[in-house]
Amino acid sequence: MALPETSLPGLSFGRSLVNLRIPPHRISFLPQVSNNSRRRSCCVAVIKRSPKRLKYSAPRFTKGGELVYVKIELLEGEDWKLEPVVELLKNGAVGVIPTDTVYAIVCDLKSHSAIERLRRIKDIETSKPLSILCRSLKDIDTYTMGFPRGNAEGHINIFRAVKHCLPGPYTFILPASKELPKQCVKYGAAPKSRKSVGVRMPNDPICQSILRKLDAPLISTSVKWPLQDDWMVDPVIIADTYEPEGLVFVVDGGVRVAEPSTVVDMMGSVPTIIRPGKGPRQEWMAVKDEEVSGTY
């Protein structure tokens, strides 16, 4: 039997593949020939997919101990996929979400048990600080003592300068307020030294959408390879690595670049960059001679 001829006006098969955005090197064309004297050919597109990526190819809103994996292609029109993640966070779950830099392991700031589980999953000592992902500048004012406002002696108004950097790829270390849980803060070496915390306002639509649906900021720490100091940027590998450790969900926002946030210490008299990162240096920021590693 001859194959029927079907065509769309003005649209070739090659153009349709372009519209589907299928990489040419991942397509093979298999000709099929009919028994008729007139030969026809039918092109079949075969797409090869990684077995691990096939495992997480669709949203898995599952319960009963299985990892919930949510893949977001474009946030517009897919915001509903984040609802299970928001509910899990409100119920004390620990999971992974994208930011404007690298992926972060997060949990509800108000859940003390979730914070302890986050530390166990990431194997973070209690002496190490955690950062908070804030929804707005109001959150920063609530959980920290705020940014320096300047004075009449000509000192720069840091608060006004910071507003031009946020949301963005910066972590600002500020004095913590009494509203912040003790598990999140870092104490200095001196007995009566001030406690501090790193604050972030990521400029990422997926992260911002999750934060807007919550009642409080998120505790966070960047995702690194276990026992190593290298960033993990592929959500599929993150899921495979940390699911056995107790991770409950992963939000897949695509593979990221291994470029962390710029960490700025605001505890001294001059804002000082202690870890360069994605955020460019501003003219009011000093640079510390020696970089430090941390969990921000």
Res. 48: pLDDT tops 60:
no
Angle at 119 between CA 117 and CA 143, to 5 degrees: 95
pLDDT in tens, 259-268: 999 999 999 8
Q: What is the pLDDT of residue 294?
A: 56
Residue 282 banded pLDDT, cuts 50, 70, 90: very high
Please state the rounded mean pLDDT for residues 11-20.
37
Res. 24: pLDDT tops 50:
no
C-beta of residue 94 within 8 angstroms of C-beta of residue 183: no
SS3 label, residue 265: strand
C-beta of residue 89 within 8 angstroms of C-beta of residue 247: no
Res. 28: pLDDT tops 90:
no
pLDDT in tens, 132-163: 999 999 999 999 998 877 554 555 678 888 99
pLDDT in tens, 193-222: 568 999 999 999 999 999 999 999 999 999
Please state the rounded mean pLDDT for residues 91-118.
96
pTM reported for the whole predicted model: 0.75
Please state the rounded mean pLDDT for residues 216-233.
93
C-beta of residue 103 within 8 angstroms of C-beta of residue 252: no
Q: What is the pLDDT of residue 62?
A: 43
Relative to beta strand 95-97, strand 104-108 is: antiparallel
Q: Which residue has the higher pLDDT, 4 or 146?
A: 146
SS3 label, residue 118: helix
Q: What is the pLDDT of residue 256?
A: 93
Q: How many CB atoms lie within 10 A of CB 124?
A: 15
pLDDT in tens, 157-185: 788 889 999 999 999 999 999 998 877 77
| 80 CB-side CA count, 13 A | 1
Per 3-state DSSP, the chain is made up of helix, strand and coil in percentages (nearest 5) of 25, 20, 55
The fraction of the chain above a pLDDT of 70, given in percent, is 70
